[in-house]
Amino acid sequence: MRVVLDTNILVSALLSPAGYPAAIYSAWEGGRFTLLICQEQLDELHATLPKPKIAELIKPYKAGRLVNQIKRLAEEISALPRVRISLDPNDDHLLALSEAGKADYLITGDKSGLLGLRHHERTQIVSARDFASRQIALGAYAH
C-alpha cells in the first residue's frame, strides 16, 4: 500500500504519541506501508518544525529524527504533475504527490480543504481516525 501523510499528520505524530497519527507513523516505521514524499513536503517540514509554537512542544532531536527517518525510508517522488485543485494552493503538492506516486491514501487533518475532496484520481483522502479505524495497514497499531 502506498500512502501520503500530510505534514499536519507528521507533526501531530510527534506532538501526541498516543494519537492516531503516531500509530500510523509507527505502522510505517514497521514496514506496513510505503510512505511517499516529495521535496516540496520536505521543505514544508523544514519550515514548520522550527515555528515557535511547534518548536516549544517538540524537542529538536525528535524533529530531526522524523526528518532523517523520512529521508532514509520514504520513497521520494520527484516528477510531480501540475495540480491546482485544493482550496489551499499550499496543499496542491500533496495531491500531485498522491497522483504521481499512485498513492492509495492521502491521510490529512485538513478538515476545511483536503478532506472535503474525498479523493483525487485513484487516491482516497481520509482522516487519521478513518484510516486507523479501518485498520488498514495498522494491525495492532490501531486504537
Q: Check if CATH label 3.10.450.50 holds for domain 2-141.
A: no
How far is it, in rounded angstroms, from Cα 97 to Cα 100?
5
pLDDT at 106: 96
Q: Are 80 and 38 in contact (CB under 8 A)?
A: yes
pTM here? 0.88
Mean pLDDT to the nearest integer, 43-56: 92
Residue 19, number of CB atoms within 10 A of its CB: 17
How far is it, in rounded angstroms, from Cα 142 to Cα 19?
10
Whether the predicted pLDDT of 2 surpasses 90: yes
pLDDT at 74: 96
